[in-house]
Structures are given as C-alpha cells and as structure tokens.
Amino acid sequence: MRALGRFPTTRMRRLRRTEFLRRIVCETSLHANDLIVPVFVQEGKNLVTPVVSMPGVNRHSIDALLPIAQRCLDLGIAAIAIFPVVEPSLKTADAKEALNPSGLLPKVVRELKKRFPELCVITDVALDPYTSHGQDGVVDPAGYVLNDKTIEILAQQAQIQGESGADIVAPSDMMDGRVGAIRKRLDDFGLQNVCILSYAAKYASNFYGPFRDAVGSKENLGSCAKHSFQMDIANSNEALREVAMDLAEGADIVMIKPGLPYLDVLRRVKEEFGAPTFVYQVSGEYLMLKAACSNGWLDERACVLETLISFKRAGADAIMTYFALEAAAWLKN
Ligand code: PBG
C-alpha cells in the first residue's frame, strides 16, 4: 500500500532541500558498468574514418580499435559491440561473406579477445552488412525476406562468431525462430557458454538512418523498408509476445530498440519477465542530441546523462549507446 501523504504534515520538498538529502533518497544510479560501446570496424591499417552522418563516431581498422578497447577498460566499461563495415565487393545476395571464418568480424573478435580477455565482446548476428540488397536476410524475387532460409545462415554466422571468441552473440534481425536455431547450433558445436542477447523487440524505426550510413547498407537498401520483419512502432503487446518467445527459445538477455521513444516498452518487458533487459539508444537518437548540443541549444553532458538515467529508471540493466565512452568519462569525475 502506498502511504498517503497530507500537507502540511507531509512536505515532499523536505527531502529535496539539500544535496545530501537528495543523494540518500536517490532511487536510480548510473555506472560505467551499465554502458556498452558500439563500434564500427573496417579493413585497413591505422584508419579512423569519421562517419559523416554521425559526428563524433568513427569507423576503425582493427589496429585503431585497440586503443578504444583499452579506453573501455580504463573507464570501467565492461562490454563492446562490434559492427563490421564490409567491402562493397564482398556483398552478395546470399551474404556468404557472413560465414567467412577469416572475415573482418571474426578477425576483430580474435584480436580483441587475445589482447583484452577481460573485455566482453558482443557481435551482431545479422546479414545486412553482407547483402548486396542491404536486407537482413536472403530475399525471394519479390524482395521478401525469407525467414527459414535466413535463420539457417544466422545460426552458422553465430557459430563462427562464437568460435572466434565472442562472449555474447546478438541477433538483431527479427526473424522468427532465430534464437532457438542459434542456441541449438551453438550447443551442437560445444559453445554452450556463449550468451545470446536477442534484439527481441526491435521496431521498424525511422531512427536507424545514420547507422545504415555508417555500415554502408543505406544505398544498397534504397527505398526498401524492413516492415515485413521489424515491429510496428504502434505496438507494445506484441513486444511482450516477442520477448516471451525469445526467452523460451533460450535468449539470455533481451534488447529493446530504439530507446527513448520506447521507454514504455522497456518498462513493460522488465516488469513482465524480470529478465536481463538492455536498451539501444540508436544512431538517430544520438544524432538528435548531438545536433542540438553542438548548436549550443542543449547542455550535452546534462542532457545525455539524463537520457541514460531514464533508461535505468525505466528498467534497463545496460544501455548500448554511442555516448558510452563520453558518459563513462563524465561519471568518473
Ligand atoms: C541491422 C541493424 C540496424 C541497427 C543495428 N543493427 C539497422 C537496421 O535495422 O536497419 C541500427 C542501430 C542504430 O541505428 O544505431 N541489423
């Protein structure tokens, strides 16, 4: 039962009067532990290429990524999530480069785990960086993404990532049944301890544009949308069904994506299942804040930290955000 307060005996402002009182009644906290750094990697040597559509975000060659990994550890960040930028010449309709054990992503994972075994490496299980049409799966002649064919490939992709040392594989594609297919394949290959972070409720959002630019899938995708597999932005009961299915299929962690426009979904999922629940503050959300702050219209540090604490308050256990390194540095001092 909620205690009913009555003025003037009860004065809510009493506990807001001083900094120490506000601190001892504070309900939610934010730590570097709560942050996951998404990074874009590319082939090459000593390359740090700015992503034009995401000021402050770069694509790194493997050697140039190592100092970032070191910085994560220095700041107390536990996990890094790798997104590959695949050479256009390697993109095919069937995404076969996704299954190349000597491809860019497995190389990055091996290198990171060799140098920084204490850093959690999360890999993206999805075909869009590898397909010539930019879709998250193989398509039929009409351009429809084929579910069952795609999940076979995703399971193999996850196995290769697991074998290269990924601690967590993260299917971000929204095919039905892929968590079960991935879990089975991992287990069949002796990878029982590789965790699955499922993008369980991923919406067909308009906030992914800058990311598609960053991984170079935007032009390939053209005007084709992802509404036939990502969720309708208007739905939230459906998110609960998606999460229930992924947990039943063996997901260890579920993700809600995007973040701020979907705090209600995050809250419902956390309350309903109590499972480890992550949220992705996506590229368009990053860009909105960056744009406003670089114009001097908003205070970057204060506003970014406010969004991150909001995710925690809504129930997130961890937050994937392009602000992770900056935020961790702010939290340190
Ligand atoms: C696709 C994928 C997307 C993002 C991560 N993985 C975009 C999409 O669904 O087209 C978006 C992340 C962001 O916008 O920051 N597998």
Distance of alpha carbon 98 from alpha carbon 106, whole angstroms: 10
Residue nearest to atom 8 of ligand 1 (CA): 208
Q: From ligand 1's centre to the CA of 212, what distance in Å?
A: 7
Architecture of 30-332 per CATH?
A: Alpha-Beta Barrel (3.20)
202 noted as active-site residue: yes
Q: Which of 226, 257, 290, 312 is catalytic?
A: 257
Measured by CA distance, the residue closest to atom 9 of ligand 1 is 208
What is residue 289's predicted lDDT score, i.e. its pLDDT?
A: 97
pTM here is 0.96
* Domain edges within the chain: 30-332
Separation of CA 13 and ligand 1 centre (Å): 43
Nearest to 181 by CA among 193, 171, 167: 171
In this structure, which amino acid lies at residue 179?
V
Distance CA 228, CA 176 (A): 11
Q: In this predicted structure, what is the pLDDT of residue 306? A: 98
Listed residue (55, 58, 52, 53) closest to 37, CA to CA: 58
Q: Is 114 a catalytic residue?
A: no
Distance of CA 82 from the midpoint of ligand 1 (Å):
12
- pLDDT given at position 198: 98
Q: List the beta strands (DSSP E) in 211-288.
A: 253-257, 277-281
CA distance 83 to 71: 18
- 161 in the Ramachandran plot: left (φ > 0), alpha (ψ -120 to 50) or beta? alpha
From the list 91, 202, 226, 312, the catalytic residue is 202
- Predicted pLDDT at 213: 81
Say what the pLDDT of residue 1 is: 62
202 C-alpha to ligand 1 centroid (Å) = 9
Tens of each residue's pLDDT in the chain, 333 residues: 677 889 999 999 999 999 999 999 999 999 999 999 999 999 999 999 999 999 999 999 999 999 999 999 999 999 999 999 999 999 999 999 999 999 999 999 999 999 999 999 999 999 999 999 999 999 999 999 999 999 999 999 999 999 999 999 999 999 999 999 999 999 999 999 999 999 999 999 999 988 888 877 777 777 678 999 999 999 999 999 999 999 999 999 999 999 999 999 999 999 999 999 999 999 999 999 999 999 999 999 999 999 999 999 999 999 999 999 999 999 997
Nearest CA owner, ligand 1 atom 14: 208
According to the model, what pLDDT value does residue 142 have?
A: 92
Residue with tokens 């990878």: 191
